[in-house]
Chain A
Amino acid sequence: MGILEVKNINKRFGGLQALGDVNLDVQEGSCHAIIGPNGAGKSTLLNVLVGKLIPDTGTVMFENKPVLGRKPHEINQMGISRVFQTPEIFGDLTVMENMVIPILARRDGSFALHAISQLRNEKSLNEEAEQMLAEVNMLEKRNMQASSLSRGDKRRLEMAMCLVQQPRLLLLDEPTAGMARADTNNTIDLLKEIKEKRNITMAIIEHDMHVVFSLADRITVLAQGTPLVEDTPENIKGHPKVREAYLGEAQV
């Protein structure tokens, strides 16, 4: 039994079957990659998992608790964090403030009325935020406004925001898209380290096969909303159907 069990998810957008009978089993402590061509329904699947979309049919269980029907903030409080395909950060706030918010959310829950205590006196909180920023090599940018960061930095900031929440399941939607090769490798190292040290389960969507094969323990190939195959990276590499549907064009 996996930490995340997705059963028979169907989702139609008008005439388009975005997800058709999707089943997914993510094992605790593993890194599960979801690959597939553009428009395959990968992001749509994550949208279902975080409560952004309600599917037409199906069930989702996280740690044996039902996920569907809960609000996004409740799902996050269950221990699921998500990095989005287009970075979702607090653009008007500083990098440091962006980091403090998820720590507060983890510590105080979805609402707390701490209107008198002062943020600058929260020593351990600020230290934790700085430590995480250091891990993603962004400490020197702590006082920059988040919207003025480069695209790669925005992604790294968002990842740091998710990691600092200490989730039990981390959903990553193309975390290295738009990153330079060196940054991509840094990200791979970071994610590897996190997986080993903190035992965070990961589901990652990625077009960059280098990233996928460096990280994934299992791979699901999605095409036109339906899982084509699910197997280990070694088997996927040589799979004729996958080559035909996806890898043939994507692998360089």
Chain B
Amino acid sequence: MFGLNAKDARLYIIVLALLLFAPFLLNPFPEGSGLAQFNAGYPDMMQRLVIFGLFAVGFNILFGLTGYLSFGHAAFLGVGSYAGVWMFKLLTMNVIPALIISTLVAGLFSLLIGYISLRRSGIYFSILTLAFAQMCYSLAYSVLTPITGGETGLQLSLDDPRILGVQQTAQGNIPVPNLFGLPMNAATTLDVGAWSFTFSVGYYFAAFVFACAFYFTIRLFRSPFGLMLRAVKSNQSRMSYTGLNARPYTLAAFVISGMFAGLAGGLLVSMDPLAGAERMLWTASGEVVLMTILGGVGTLIGPILGAGVITYLEAIVSTINSTVLHNWFEALPDGLENFLVNIIYPFVGSGWHLTLGLVFVIVVCFLPGGIVEGGKRIGGLFTRKNKSSDSVKADSAAQPGPGE
């Protein structure tokens, strides 16, 4: 189906279903209950989930397939954001031109940075990409302030030209990003009993873009080009003695993953038209590396899972504060309550990085293949159990014992 093999088609359908029903799936707890805190089914969160999923899926094309670990991919996300906002300022608030330009500009940047960085491999390559990304960050903060808005970031204003759109709405406001008139921030809410589910245009648009990009990724993984990228990772010297030039392959992978990052940046500003330099900081580059490793390097679904876990932890765990903790353990005796709160407190709120670090260490030590490997092991346990119980059944059927 879809020109994919049966296994990939099944995976793709599952991902499509998850995307479609995310507003339900991510909102399992009734509104107003103590656990509503853990709901992630609100538009802003769901948008971030798919956008960072897209970022990680693209990053994995480079890192997962070729093994080249870029530590500067956030630069392309940042460049894509700026390009998108500039489209909103100059041309129109329609998101389509913004996304196209975001992707192309990020592609150009990655062509340039990749061309130079790919002259080295291993740790030197990583350091070069890191250096370039930090240069982009510093430039955005300093000399390029007229283009990037410096510290305040790049914002829309009422007197932007927007030659194909309107400068301001009838009410005198800045227009919002839209898809041929359909505003990205439009949403409808469905109340079912104690639950309330929100369906937003922005999320479904981002999910659609993600679905297209993910389809392309699956095709790429199974294509001759994808095989060559895996050959790069496996044995570059055999590759060259087989008549293949590894450099253009790695560069193409670098540019494709840079364009994914740019597209993700464009989507971010389509949801919230504000671009800042902090998106290019090395920590942001490190985060996408963590997402990919956490989920499972080189797998199709891994980066999506990793991005999901990290984005979720960041958004949810960081909002838990001591009042919330005290509420949870209210029923316990005071001493115990304070004890538990004191233990958990360093891991939540602004300490969420500690939780992330712990999760990361546990996964890398015990599941080097990431969440995907964990899933496979659990799946393996079940199939083995089923098999052994089947054989037991077969045995007992063959020789009915006295107990039966």
Least CB separation from B232: chain A residue? A90
Q: A89-B235, A91-B235, A93-B230 are in contact. Are A111 and B224 (CB under 8 A)?
A: no
Stretch of A17-25, A72-80, A221-229 contacting B (4+ beta carbons < 8 Å):
A72-80
The segment from A30-38, A116-124, A132-140 that touches chain B is: A116-124
How far, in Å, is B202 (CB) from chain A's closest CB? 29
The interface on chain B, measured as residues whose beta carbon lies within 8 A of the other chain's beta carbons, has a size of 30
Q: Which of B224, B235, B242, B243 contacts A119 (CB 8 A)?
A: B224
Q: Is the CB of B244 within 8 A of A118?
A: no
Let me know if A110 and B227 touch, CB within 8 A.
no
A195 within 8 A of B: no
- Is A115 in contact with B225, judged by CB distance below 8 angstroms? yes
Q: Determine the distance from Cα of A119 to Cα of B256 in the docked complex, in whole angstroms.
A: 20
Count, chain A residues at interface, CB 8 A: 38
Cα A120 to Cα B243 in complex, Å, equals 22
How far is B222's CA from A73's CA once the two chains are assembled, in angstroms?
24
Q: Is the CB of A102 closer than 8 A to any CB of chain B?
A: yes
Whether A108 sits at the interface, judged by CB under 8 Å, is: yes
B5 and A76 form a contact (CB under 8 A): no
Interface membership of chain A positions 43-85, coded 1 if the CB is closer than 8 angstroms to chain B and 0 otherwise: 0000000100000000000000000000111001100011010
Cα A109 to Cα B233 in complex, Å, equals: 19
B242 contact set on A, CB distance < 8 A: 73, 76, 81, 101-102, 105, 161, 165
Closest CB of chain B to A163's CB: distance in Å? 12
Interface centre among A101, A112, A113 (most CB of B within 10 A): A101
Contact residues, A151-165 vs B (CB, 8 A): 161, 165
Establish whether residues B241 and A92, one from each chain, have CB atoms under 8 Å apart when the complex forms.
Answer: no
Out of B5, B219, B227, B252, which one reaches A101, CB within 8 Å? B227
**Residues of chain A contacted by B244 (CB below 8 angstroms):** 73, 101, 105, 110-111
Q: Tell me the complex Cα distance, A118–B9, Å.
A: 14
Instruction: Report which residue of A76, A88, A115, A119 has the largest number of chain B beta carbons within 10 angstroms of its beta carbon.
Output: A115
A115 (CB) vs chain B CBs: closest residue: B225
Contact A72 B241 (CB under 8 A): yes
Please indicate the chain A residues that have their CB under 8 angstroms from the CB of B223 in the complex. Answer: 114-119
Q: How far is the CB of A143 from chain B (nearest CB, A)?
A: 14
What's the least CB distance linking B60 to chain A, in Å? 15
List, in ascending order, chain B residues with CB within 8 A of A7's CB: none
| Prevailing SS type, chain A contact patch | loop
Bound-state Cα–Cα, A73 to B223, Å = 21
Q: How far is the CA of A101 from the CA of B231 in the complex (A)?
A: 8
**Residue of B whose beta carbon sits closest to that of A100:** B227
Number of A-B residue pairs at CB separation under 8 A = 105
Indicate whether A106 reaches chain B with its CB closer than 8 angstroms: yes
Complex contact A113–B252 (CB within 8 A):
yes
Nearest-neighbor residue (CB-CB) of A158 within chain B: B238
CA distance A166 to B235 in the complex (A): 21
**B142 CB to nearest A CB, Å:** 37
B75 within 8 A of A: no
- A104 interfacial by beta-carbon distance below 8 Å: yes
CA distance A89 to B223 in the complex (A): 20
A112: chain B residues at CB < 8 Å are 224-225
Q: Are B225 and A82 in contact (CB under 8 A)?
A: no
**Cβ-defined contact, B243 with A90, below 8 A:** no
A interface footprint on B116-133 (CB within 8 Å = 1, 0 otherwise): 000000000000000000
- Verify if A217 is at the interface (C-beta below 8 Å from B): no
Q: Is A97 an interface residue (CB 8 A)?
A: yes
A161 cross-chain contacts in B, Cβ below 8 A: 242
Rounded to whole Å, the gap between the CB of A74 and the closest CB of chain B is 8
Query: Measured between C-beta atoms, what is the minimum distance from A115 to chain B in Å?
Result: 4
- Distance, CA A100 to CA B230, complexed state (A): 13
**A109 and B224 alpha carbons, distance in the complex (Å):** 12
Contacts of B248 in A (CB 8 A): 111
**What chain B residues lie within 8 Å of A110 (beta carbons)?**
243-245
Q: Mark B217-257, 1 if CB is under 8 A from A, else 0.
A: 00110111111101101110111111111001100100010
Pull 6 A–B residue pairs with CB atoms less than 8 Å apart, ordered by A.
Answer: A90-B231, A93-B230, A104-B227, A115-B225, A122-B224, A165-B242
- Which residues of A are at the interface with B, using a C-beta cutoff of 8 A? 50, 71-73, 76-77, 81-82, 84, 88-93, 97, 100-102, 104-106, 108-120, 122, 161, 165
List 3 tightest A-B contacts by C-beta distance, closest first: A76-B243, A92-B234, A115-B225
For the complex with contacts A101-B227, A120-B5, 17 further pairs of A-B residues with Cβ separation under 8 Å are: A72-B241, A73-B240, A73-B242, A73-B244, A76-B242, A88-B241, A91-B235, A100-B227, A101-B231, A102-B242, A102-B243, A108-B224, A114-B223, A114-B225, A115-B225, A116-B223, A119-B223
